[in-house]
Amino acid sequence: MSQIGKQVVDFEVQAFANNNFKTVKKSDLLGKWSVFFFYPADFTFVCPTELEDLANLYPEFKATDCEIYSVSTDTHFVHKAWHDTSDTIKKIQYPMLADPTGVLSRGFDVMIEEVGLAERGTFIVNPEGEIVAYEVVAGNVGRNADELLRRLKALQFVAKNPSEVCPAKWKEGNETLQPSIDLVGKI
């Protein structure tokens, strides 16, 4: 079943961010763009490469008025321990959400029930709290933060310009299309 247009589940979870613990809830999302970046577990192999990729582009995400939330079923204490012991994870400035009860993993439909871990799911949420893009990738394949940022910018563009659409490989500043009968069969 499609997640597009689905409202983010109501939630309140603990997070590790900026060397502190804090509470993050659904109301914190409203009014800005968000990326939920689910991964299976801390202290693993592919996960830190993805989280570092996001950390390297975090200033660019923030410049688009978007907050990144990484999410695993680990506790906020485990997130802190990973941060304290890994040079890669020390680079992270975005909130690392703790989901030990699975409220988010189930709410976004990425929980692997048999093992209590989340799939590699990525969700872009608009300022109204609706999912506007998502992908779920097999556990042994990492994701690309450059493509995620490109997709976010395209979604933001069409949200501001509803009469236009972004073609494949569209990048900020490139030409868009205006759907009309005149384009049918000419692309």
Q: What is the DSSP letter of 43?
A: S
Sequence-ordered list of residues with C-beta below 8 angstroms from that of 77, at least 6 positions apart, any chain: 98
Regarding beta strands 66-72 and 33-38, do their DSSP bridges make them parallel or antiparallel, or are they unpaired?
Answer: parallel
Cα-trace Rg, the chain: 17
- Residue numbers annotated as active site: 47
Cα-Cα-Cα-Cα dihedral of 5, 8, 127, 38, to 10°? Answer: -100
State how far the Cα of 58 lies from the Cα of 51, in Å rounded to an integer: 10
